[in-house]
């Protein structure tokens, strides 16, 4: 599928942010581990969350789907190994958490994903799980993965700067280990707010974790996930594209279902837009942005919010002066190398952009519409769509179907605010 983007003068209106992908996947897989029935309200329905549904059912969970919520009957930690290879599609969160959950079965599970997933590193997670008693392997250090339990417990050491999903995965499986688990981080934890989301989810299920300053975590064994009734909040990661598109034009947009006490890492987009000169305000359950379309460059550390790199690079291409994104080298390990992808595609549009090992430097540029590649990455596609809305001439984006990973109705929602995406 191809997007065709016509330049947009202004955006206005009120929309609901789609449900948080990070929370939805955690909620589904935590419910799988629960002894009883858990209700998850307003879950995101996307390709990534479908991967989590598939994993839940493959491991023995029972899902009842209603109009606006799901009910999951969990296994109480008694995981059955899937008969077939578990395909996690394009979901990195799902394959990492599911790999650790698979260790709760003494039978072998094989997990894989699409071409992008099969390029993403997982060796550090497998090494840590093996320290805890599992038997796991991967020929290339990337999926496919083979793993079997038991998850005995003990102490494991793992880097904190490759993917916070490794820590999330071990945290979620460890309450059912045979002995207490201690996770020691060998390097400083990056993307820390994503671990906070996991700790919040575990707390809702009455799981206790001792967090020792994000340098180590202690999880007592023989804990049980308790059923809960949980409502998924809106996704700041997806809302970032709406808010940024509005900031680049003379716009007034309200995005609902975004909470000012959210733990989400990408809530940082509101702070970033404000520092760049947009009038962005967070209220109890929504964000309002007003802008005259003029932004100023800045230096921004996205070490805890690497998913914002693509859209902030677009903001930097239009902002006055220089914008620099720093401490975001782990963005190279996402669905694609996002640092390189944004440098390549924005250059095609005429941007003055320099690729650094851990980030990007942009100077104000006049962008021209052209044909760009979406790199099979939902965040690259949506970021380039925002760039196209504010460029001169028509922009075409190839591979646009991949937005369904997190934001299936992106085009329809943006067009409802005044954009013209065909």
Coil, helix or strand at residue 365: coil
- Whether 15 and 58 share a structural domain: no
First-to-last C-alpha distance (Å) of the chain? 10
Gap between the Cα atoms of 311 and 331, Å rounded: 12
Q: Which stretches in the chain have pLDDT values below 70?
A: none
What DSSP string describes 271-321? HHHHHHT-EEEE-SSEEEEEEES--B--EEE-TT-GGGHHHHHHHHHHSBS
- Whether 379 and 301 share a structural domain: yes
CB 250 within 8 A of CB 293: yes
Contacts of 74 (CB under 8 A, 6+ apart): 31, 32, 33, 34, 35, 36, 37, 38, 61, 225, 227
- Whether 292 and 376 share a structural domain: yes
Name the domain count of the chain: 2
Give me the pLDDT at residue 309, please. Answer: 99
Question: Quick one: DSSP state of residue 162?
Answer: S
Sheet strand arrangement including 420-421: 371-373, 395-398, 2-6, 420-421
- Whether 290 and 389 share a structural domain: yes
- Whether 128 and 255 share a structural domain: no
Question: Quick one: DSSP state of residue 227?
Answer: P
- Whether 265 and 299 share a structural domain: yes
What phi and psi, each to the nearest 5 degrees, are found at residue 223?
-85, 160
The helix (run of H) or strand (run of E) holding residue 255 is strand 250-256
Gap between the Cα atoms of 85 and 150, Å rounded: 19
* Paired tokens of 268: 């940082």
Give me the pLDDT at residue 264, please. Answer: 98
Q: Of 204, 231, 258, which marks where a domain is finished? A: 231
String of b and e for 317-352 (b: at least 16 CB within 10 Å)? bbbeebbbbebbbbbbbbbbbbbebbbbbbbebbbe
Tokens 């962005």 label which residue?
280
- Whether 241 and 219 share a structural domain: no
Q: Of 177, 205, 231, which marks where a domain is finished? A: 231
- Whether 263 and 410 share a structural domain: yes
Q: Of 231, 257, 288, which marks where a domain is finished? A: 231
Give me the pLDDT at residue 49, please. Answer: 98
- Whether 255 and 219 share a structural domain: no
Catalytic site residues? Answer: 307
- Whether 238 and 138 share a structural domain: no
Give me the pLDDT at residue 414, please. Answer: 98
Domain coverage including residue 256: 2-19+233-421
């Amino acid at each position: 599928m191809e997007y065709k983007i016509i330049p947009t003068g202004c955006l206005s209106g009120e929309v609901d942010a789609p449900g948080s992908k990070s929370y939805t996947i955690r909620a589904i897989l935590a419910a799988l581990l629960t002894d009883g029935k858990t209700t998850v309200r307003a879950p995101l329905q996307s390709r990534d969350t479908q991967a989590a549904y598939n994993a839940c059912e493959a491991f023995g969970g029972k899902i009842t789907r209603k109009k606006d919520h799901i009910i999951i009957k969990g296994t109480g930690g008694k995981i059955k190994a899937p008969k077939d290879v578990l395909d996690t599609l394009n979901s990195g969160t799902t394959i990492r958490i599911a790999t650790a959950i698979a260790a709760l079965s003494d039978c072998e599970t094989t997990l894989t994903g699409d071409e992008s997933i099969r390029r993403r590193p997982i060796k550090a997670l497998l090494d840590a799980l093996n320290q805890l008693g599992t038997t796991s392997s991967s020929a290339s250090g990337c999926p496919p993965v083979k793993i079997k339990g038991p998850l005995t417990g003990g102490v494991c050491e793992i880097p904190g700067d490759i993917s916070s999903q490794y820590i999330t995965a071990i945290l979620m499986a460890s309450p059912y280990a045979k002995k207490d688990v201690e996770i020691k981080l060998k390097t400083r934890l990056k993307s820390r707010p994503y671990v906070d989301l996991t700790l919040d989810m575990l707390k809702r299920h009455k799981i206790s974790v001792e967090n020792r300053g994000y340098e180590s975590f202690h999880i007592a064994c023989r804990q049980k996930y308790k059923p809960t009734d949980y409502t998924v909040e809106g996704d700041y990661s997806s809302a970032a594209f709406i808010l940024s598109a509005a900031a680049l034009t003379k716009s007034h947009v309200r995005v609902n279902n975004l909470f000012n006490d959210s733990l989400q890492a990408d809530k940082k987009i509101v702070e970033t837009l404000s520092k760049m000169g947009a009038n962005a305000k967070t209220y109890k359950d929504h964000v309002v942005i007003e802008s005259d379309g003029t932004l100023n460059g800045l230096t921004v550390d996205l070490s805890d919010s690497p998913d914002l790199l693509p859209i902030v690079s677009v903001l930097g291409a239009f902002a006055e002066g220089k914008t620099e994104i720093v401490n975001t080298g782990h963005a190279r390990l996402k669905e694609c190398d996002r640092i390189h992808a944004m440098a390549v595609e924005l250059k095609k549009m005429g941007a003055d952009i320099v690729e650094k090992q851990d980030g990007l430097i942009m100077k104000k540029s006049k962008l021209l519409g052209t044909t760009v590649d979406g790199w099979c990455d939902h965040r690259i596609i949506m970021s380039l769509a925002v760039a196209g809305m504010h460029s001169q001439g028509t922009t075409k984006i190839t591979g646009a179907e991949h937005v369904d990973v997190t934001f299936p109705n992106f085009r329809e929602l943006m067009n409802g605010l005044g954009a013209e995406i065909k």
